[in-house]
Amino acid sequence: MLNIFGKKSDKKSDKEVLEIELAEPVDCVCDFTYNFHWQHQGNKLDPTWKIPGTNYTFGDLIEHLKNNGDVRINGDAGHRLCSSMGVDLQYFGGSGGDVPVGDVYVEGDVDTRMGISMIRGSIYVKGDVKEPVGNVVRIKSNVKGYKKFISITDITMNNLKGYKIEGCRLEGNKLFINDGMVKDTVGARLNRGAEIVLDGNVDLSTGILMRNGTVQINGNAGKNTGALLNGGTVIINGDTDDFTAIDMISGTIIVNGNAGKFLAANKKKGKILAKKGSPIPPSKEKDLDTEDHSLILRHGFNPRDFVKFE
């Protein structure tokens, strides 16, 4: 059961706070996609569904955040907390860009995939956060007793200086990440000529929906690397799991290793360079041209080891 204590004023910020109590974790709280609503058409989750035991819907929390209100969760949160937070999704009639949002506070623990594809707002967590997390890094918190997380994309898109980012450093338009946390969706929706370099392995959907910039992973990557890539460059200095470049629209993916099975499924355009991989027709393996050689050399790899998939 969940019980809503209702809305109240936050004396520190004068923001309106919507406060809920969770007796047990609930998945997809403050999930702006409603668990990818366009795929299941409301069979798994719908904005109109009431949070069990309350008069509030999942959609009410999203609208509250969009109105710059904060959400406070008393208890543990489930999977996919704050998925795509700050995205004005076209599917729901939005612009497709980002929008200012309030913050989310969790008084307990958070399960996996917190902040997948998140681009705006902050998440404060009093308890533990289970990996993999999403497109977030931890920064020095301004609220005592809470860990604070913000979006990697927000840092690079808006050149957010002045934050003490744990295990990271921002140099000009280049963000270096070495915090040891396994992440999904690194660089999601990046639309600026910035660069993200992460040392270590990552999980799902690196660079999803990017339009500009570069994401480089010095390690292996999970499934759906470069999914829906629409510009920019994703570099994996290791192997990727299956479905690399799925639904790719444009841009470049370089894999200094094996790009996996089901490569380039439903790919529209764009360039994939890898040492090997198993593409889905009509994409097929091709020889490199002069431009491909130069591109690979520019990133410090040996062109003799690579092939192109188009």
Supply the CATH number for residue 298's domain.
2.160.20.60
Q: 5 and 89: one domain?
A: yes
What are 61-105's pLDDT values in tens digits? 999 999 999 999 999 999 999 999 999 999 999 999 899 999 999
Q: Which residue segment(s) compose the domain that 141 sits in? A: 1-168
Give whole-number Cα distances, 246 to 27, 47, 221, in Å. 26, 27, 14
The answer to the question of residue 307 being in a domain is yes
Tell me, yes or no, whether 190 lies in a domain.
Answer: no
Q: Which residue has the tokens 């450093």?
A: 169
Show the 3-state SS of the chain: CEEEEEEEECCCCCCEEEEEEECCCCCCCCCCCCCCHHHHCCCCCCCCCECCCCCCEHHHHHHHHHCCCEEEEECCECCCCCCCCCECCHHHCCCCCECCCCCEEECCCECCCCCCCCCCCEEEECCCECCCECCEEEECCCCCCCEEEEEHHHHHHCCCCCCCECCEEEECCEEEECCCCCECCCCCCCCCCCEEEEECCCCCCCCCCCCCCEEEEECCECCCCCCCCEEEEEEECCCECCCCCCCCCEEEEEEEEEEEEEECCCCCCCEEEEEEEEECCCCCEECCCHHHHHHHHHCCCCHHHCEEEC
Please report whether residue 177 resides in a domain. no
> What is the mean pLDDT of the segment spanning 271-299?
95
Whether residue 218 is predicted with pLDDT greater than 80 in this model: the reply is yes
**68 inside domain:** yes
| Residue 51 pLDDT | 86
Instruction: Looking at the structure, tell me whether residues 129 and 235 fall in a common domain.
Output: no
pTM for the full model? Answer: 0.93
Does 12 have pLDDT greater than 60?
no
Q: Over 90: is that where the pLDDT of 1 sits?
A: no
Please state the domain count of the chain. Answer: 2
Among residues 148, 168, 188, the one where a domain terminates is 168
Q: What is the mean pLDDT of the chain?
A: 93
My answer on whether 159 and 218 are in the same domain is no
Residue 254 forms part of a structural domain: yes
Task: Say yes or no: 158 and 204 in one domain.
Answer: no
Q: Tens digits of per-residue pLDDT, 153-193?
A: 999 988 777 789 999 999 999 999 999 999 999 999 999 99
Are both 2 and 114 inside the same structural domain? yes
% of the chain beyond a pLDDT of 70:
95
* The pLDDT value given to residue 55: 80
Q: Are residues 210 and 300 in the same domain?
A: yes
Tell me whether residue 187 is in a domain.
no
Q: What is the mean pLDDT of residues 19-35?
A: 94
Same domain, 153 and 265: no
Predicted pLDDT of residue 6:
47
Q: What is the pLDDT of residue 13?
A: 53
Two tokens, residue 305: 């080891």
Indicate if 211 and 285 belong to the same structural domain.
Answer: yes
